């Protein structure tokens, strides 16, 4: 099995060097490693070319993670394409475990990923969660990829820092270019994984497939989630869910997102329960989330006639299983 690794990077040459070091320590090396850098980011280009791993550098002019990943994906030739970030260090058995999952898995297995052990300012964000990567009945997405424990199981969505897809399939569908963002188009993983699930394919989460994730802000966004970032993220999540949820549950998602929501993208209930000292920030997030929700609905309505209908209804937690699943398989299971 030929494996390609794609790493989008911008403005973090030292961190990129540590990622390449980790890939050089793999028990099972990738056949090709592709670093995607901005044309003006000469420091990252030099770091990649100078590293003994021998990574190939692909240049991109457009801003954003989606443009970088699509440029890298298009340059791959692997039967499997593994994606990670320039602030991650895959464990030594990362690619070996990914390869084994595809070799031993069913034909319908389209994507494989696992846990990212998140370090914030050098301190591990530890915990243990059984519910990982699920989309609920009303569209509520639960992530917990950084805290997942237990056996390998089917999920609805993986996290982009630790995600692999069958190469031919990924090169065909790519990452949705309609998603919005500045440095990061949040929820691109949701759009990608639900597109796979809509084809009746399976997505596997195995916490033993692991990377250390030294989470750093991207140069062009702060990860402080300004109202504009909240709006872009809400747009992307709404578009992904409306395109792939069954018709009778799209309305449920819109009502839930407006009335309840989640703390990063609050609805009315989340706004009302925010502490008084943070009410101003919560109001800005609420307004951003609602603008993004409305924009996502409009994007869905604008594009739905231009895109072919999914061949299978997405199976989400509480729904019917995809055509590829067998009786007794674990339920597909959401994103934080």
Q: Does residue 187 come out as left (phi exceeding 0), alpha (psi in the -120 to 50 range) or beta?
A: left
Q: How far is CA 308 from the centre of its chain?
A: 23
Q: Are 114 and 210 in contact (CB under 8 A)?
A: yes
Element (H, E) at 235: helix 227-244
For 54-113, the pLDDT digits (tens) are 999 999 999 999 999 999 999 999 999 999 999 999 999 999 999 999 999 999 999 999
CATH class of 3-214: alpha beta
For 70-83, the pLDDT digits (tens) are 999 999 999 999 99
Residue with tokens 């030099």: 46
Q: What is the reported pLDDT for 189? A: 97
Torsion, CA 202, CA 207, CA 213, CA 219, rounded to 10: 20
Query: What span, in angstroms and rounded, lies between the C-alpha atoms of 287 and 266?
Result: 9
Q: Is the pLDDT of residue 44 over 80?
A: yes
Percentage of residues in the chain having pLDDT higher than 90: 79
**What DSSP string runs through 92-151?**
TTHHHHHHHHHHHS-TTEEEEEEEEEEEETTEE----BS--SEE-TTS-EE--TTTB-SS
Q: What is the reported pLDDT for 277? A: 83
What is the location of CATH 3.90.550.10 in the chain?
3-214
């Amino acid at each position: 099995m030929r494996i390609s690794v794609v790493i989008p990077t911008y403005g973090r040459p030292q961190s990129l060097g540590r990622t390449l070091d980790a890939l050089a320590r793999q028990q099972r090396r990738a056949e090709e490693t592709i670093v995607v850098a901005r044309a003006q980011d000469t420091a990252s280009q030099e770091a990649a070319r100078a590293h003994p791993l021998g990574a190939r550098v692909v240049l991109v002019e457009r801003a954003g993670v989606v443009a970088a990943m699509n440029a890298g994906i298009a340059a791959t030739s692997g039967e499997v394409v593994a994606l990670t970030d320039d602030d991650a260090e895959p464990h030594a058995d990362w690619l070996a475990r990914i390869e084994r999952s595809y070799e031993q898995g069913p034909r319908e297995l389209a994507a494989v990923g696992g846990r990212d052990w998140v370090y914030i300012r050098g301190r591990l964000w530890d915990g243990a969660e059984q519910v990982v990567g699920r989309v609920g009945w009303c569209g509520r997405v639960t992530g917990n990829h950084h805290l997942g424990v237990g056996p390998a199981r089917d999920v609805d969505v993986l996290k982009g820092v630790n995600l692999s897809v069958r190469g031919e399939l990924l090169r065909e569908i790519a990452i949705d270019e309609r998603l919005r963002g500045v440095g990061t188009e949040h929820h691109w993983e949701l759009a990608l994984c639900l597109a796979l699930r809509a084809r009746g394919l399976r997505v596997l989460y195995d916490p033993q497939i692991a990377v250390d994730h030294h989470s750093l802000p991207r140069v062009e966004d702060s990860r402080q989630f300004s109202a504009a970032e909240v709006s872009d993220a809400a747009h992307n999540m709404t578009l992904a869910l409306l395109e792939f949820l069954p018709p009778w549950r799209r309305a449920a998602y819109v009502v839930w997102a407006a009335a309840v929501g989640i703390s990063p993208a609050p609805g009315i209930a989340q706004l009302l329960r925010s502490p008084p000292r943070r009410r101003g920030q919560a109001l800005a997030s609420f307004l951003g989330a609602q603008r993004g929700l409305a924009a996502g609905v409009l994007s869905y309505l604008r594009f739905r006639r231009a895109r072919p209908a999914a061949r299978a209804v997405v199976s989400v937690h509480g729904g019917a299983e995809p055509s590829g699943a067998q009786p007794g398989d674990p339920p597909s299971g959401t994103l934080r």
